[in-house]
Amino acid sequence: DSALHTETFGRHVVYLESTQSTNEEAKKIAREGAEEGTIVVAEEQITGHGRLARGFYSPFAKGIWFSLILRPKFFPMEASKCTLLAAVGVCRGIRRMGLADAGIKWPNDILVHGKKLVGILTLMSASMEKIDYIIMGIGINTGIKKNEFPEDFREGATSFLNEGINVSRKDLLAAILGELEKEYSIAQDEGFDKVLDDWRALSVTLGQEVRVIFGDDSYTGKAVDIDRDGCLLVNTGSEVKRVIAGDVSIRPV
């Protein structure tokens, strides 16, 4: 069923054959006043990006590369948790389309059998008191074959096709937008407690021994929980460290 069952998410669509980055396009139209729920979706991104100036591989018609514009009424302090919210919605949509053991690697990669299927990059523009816009940039590999991935992350990446599923991008996008809208309206109405619990239930990181890497430094410990701000809590044996998303990467020990 590819019908879109949402109130606002995906009701306005900017469709592009090719773009540098849907996040950059979304920023432009958000500044010009694009309304909440508008999405920018492209067949390919020339310079799709991840965190820390890393690239995101986005080949023509072999994935869903899109950005969703939000104008939430909650405070800027809460916005960092939107990244977790995005992961919950996307993970649920993906499970519904046949990858039942998709899970979330903190903070917001979606993995299937230990390999990355989805990357998410959330941006915000806000003053101290008020959020102007949030952009959720989401990239999902659908039709990329194993040997087509660039060599440097080939072993760590996967796609629907790779996992044996020939998914309709249209159905998948509709499923994800539906789940995202549900989770978002809960966050707006009730706050983020349920979002955090939903995130915990879908996480593949909690309970794992992890290595936390920041720059040239790293330490290991057990990922025990996330706190109220969405930070990862890692028990090193001698102390519990609080890990803030953004400039660290974690991997299983």
Q: Minimum CB separation from ligand BT5 for residue 25, in Å?
A: 9
Residues 125-184 that bind ligand BT5 (CB under 6 A): 137-139, 141, 153, 157
Q: Does 119 bind ligand BT5 (CB under 6 A)?
A: yes
Q: Return the residue of 69, 87, 102, 120 that touches ligand BT5, per CB under 6 A.
A: 120
3-state secondary structure string, the chain?
A: CCCCCCCCCCCCEEEEEEECCHHHHHHHHHHCCCCCCCEEEEEEECCCECCCCCECCCCCCCEEEEEEEECCCCCHHHHHHHHHHHHHHHHHHHHHCCCCCCEEECCCEEEECCEEEEEEEEEEEECCCCEEEEEEEEEEECCCCHHHCCHHHHHHECCCCCCCCCCCHHHHHHHHHHHHHHHHHHHHHHCCHHHHHHHHHHECCCCCEEEEEECCEEEEEEEEEECCCCCEEEECCCCEEEECCCCCEEEEC
**Residue 49 makes contact with ligand BT5 by CB under 6 A:** yes
Is there binding between residue 22 and ligand BT5 (CB under 6 A)? yes
* By the rule CB under 6 A, 10 interacts with ligand BT5: no
Total residues interacting with ligand BT5, rule: CB under 6 A: 27
Asked if 98 is part of the footprint of ligand BT5 (rule: CB under 6 A), the reply reads: no
Would you say 50 or 98 has its CB closer to ligand BT5?
Answer: 50
User: Of the listed pieces 21-29, 76-84, 176-184, 191-199, which binds ligand BT5 according to CB under 6 A?
Assistant: 21-29
For residue 190, which amino acid is it?
A: E
Residue among 54, 145, 146, 170 that touches ligand BT5 (CB under 6 A): 54
* String of contacts with ligand BT5 for each residue 197-226, x by CB under 6 A: ------------------------------
Closer of 113 and 130 to ligand BT5 (Cβ): 113
Q: Interface with ligand BT5 includes 89 (CB under 6 A)? A: no
